[in-house]
Amino acid sequence: MIEVRDLRKIYVMGDEELAALAGVTLTIERGEYVAIIGPSGSGKSTLMNILGGLDRATSGDYRFEGEDVAHFSDDQLAEFRNRRIGFVFQSFQLLPRLTALQNVELPMIYAGVGVAERRARAAELLERVGLGARMGHRPTQLSGGQQQRVAVARSLANRPDLLLADEPTGALDTRTSEDVLALFGQLNAEGLTLAIVTHDPEVAQAARRRITFRDGLVVSDERTGVPA
């Protein structure tokens, strides 16, 4: 589903050049559950942002289901993020003025889904992540774990092909992390492709494939088979 070849992201700061990605090549198949690990500053987030169409590589090839994402226009990228990708951030990134329900509706509004349909779907998704009773709450009225579950519901709104999560449990305690992790497990079991950046060994354990980064390069890529 994803084919990345010799992907580079170079930041120029004054005279210095910094290669956040120094030539990454990898493929991810449909239905995979991939954990991306590695030390801080190794380029994990940079890769995720490029895969999610939030950022552009300096050079290299990125194909998503055969489409040449690297050469998408801004509008094509927006549509790509809207329809194909679900993104979960470490810091949740919910809009504080909106209720949980409205936050989940947001991607569907940009997709042009009608009011009744998107409201029903948002409610269904919140139900699904166990927040059926909290739909009218604003983010400030929710715990961290609840907020992250709203964010997961939002990422699923337009039935994406790929769910990207950048340290989704980084701001959560162990117990709530487990809830979110269980949710990811279920989603993958239902066929959703997942790529998760994490420092959490437990999260990494849950995945069936671990890609390790160092200095902008893939240093190991191991499949662990079906987790216990």
Partner 1 sequence: MNPLELGRFALGAILAHPMRSVLTSLGVVIGVAAVVMMTSIGLGAQQRVTQAISGLGSNLIIVTPNFQRGPVSQAAGAGVSLRDADAEAIRKQVADVAAVAPVVRGQGQLAADGANWNTRIEGVTPEYLDARDLTIAAGRMFDEREARQGRKVLVVGATVARELWGDDDPIGRRVRVRTVPFEVIGVLESKGQSGFGQDQDDVVLAPLSAVRSRIVGRRSRGDSVQTIYVKAADEESLDRVQEDVINVLRDQHRIRAGEDDDFQTQNMASILAASQAAVGTFTVLLAAVAGVSLVVGGVGIMNIMLVAVTERTREIGLRMAVGAKRSHVLIQFALESVALSLVGGLIGLAIGVGGAFLVAKLGDWPAAVPAWAGPLALGFSVAVGLLFGAYPSWRAARLDPIEALRRE
Ligand X SMILES: Nc1ncnc2c1ncn2[C@@H]1O[C@H](COP(=O)(O)OP(=O)(O)OP(=O)(O)O)[C@@H](O)[C@H]1O
Q: How far apart are CA 38 and CA 42, in angstroms?
A: 6
Question: Which of Mg ion, ligand X, partner 1, none sits in contact with 75, Cβ below 5 to 8 A by type?
Answer: partner 1
Check binding of 189 to partner 1 (CB under 8 A): no
Residue 122, SS3 per DSSP: helix
Check binding of 110 to partner 1 (CB under 8 A): yes
Check binding of 79 to partner 1 (CB under 8 A): yes
Pairing of strands 16-28, 193-197: unpaired
Check binding of 70 to partner 1 (CB under 8 A): no
* Nearer residue to partner 1 within complex by CB, 33 or 87: 87
Three-point CA angle 129, 184, 37, nearest 5°:
140
We find the least distance from the C-beta atom of residue 165 to partner 1, in angstroms, to be: 13
Check binding of 14 to ligand X (CB under 6 A): no
Residue 19, SS3 per DSSP: strand
* Closest by Cα among 200, 184, 107 to 148: 184
Say if residues 193 and 19 touch (Cβ distance below 8 Å): no
Check binding of 198 to ligand X (CB under 6 A): no
Check binding of 95 to partner 1 (CB under 8 A): yes
Q: How far apart are CA 101 and CA 130, in angstroms?
A: 13
Binding mask 25-64 for ligand X (x = CB under 6 A): -------------x-xxxxxxx------------------
Residues found near ligand X in the complex (CB under 6 A): 11, 13, 18, 20, 38, 40-46
